[in-house]
Amino acid sequence: MPHPDIPEGHQRTGSVAFASPHLGADGIRVTRSYPADSTIMMTSVTYHWHTSPGLPDVLLRTHHDDPEVIAAAMEPMDAFARTLRLPGAGPRRVATV
């Protein structure tokens, strides 16, 4: 978590739509970089899907103190996030363009 004294203006955030063959097309990936203190820059990546009523939402989060590590690992993290599934939930349709 960012240090409470660090203003939001010093944080960078971005989000993109993120589809999963198992959880559906309405997912989102949020990337956030922020200084954890005066010497360390943290980057977190959060994947989130709203699921059907009666099922829990799905949230996957990772973070690291080296933004270059996160950048280099983004493709494998995306691939892993696309493998997530809920027990007992069938595949959800993902629209293709």
Over residues 8-27, the pLDDT tens digits come to 777 788 899 999 998 888 89
Over residues 42-63, the pLDDT tens digits come to 888 999 998 878 878 888 998 8
| pLDDT computed for residue 83 by the predictor | 92
Q: Which band of pLDDT confidence, cut at 50, 70 and 90, is reported for residue 85?
A: confident
Measured CA to CA, the distance from residue 91 to residue 6 in angstroms comes to 41
> Residues of 62-89 as b/e, b for ≥16 C-beta within 10 angstroms?
eeeeeeeebeeeeeeeeeebbeeebeee
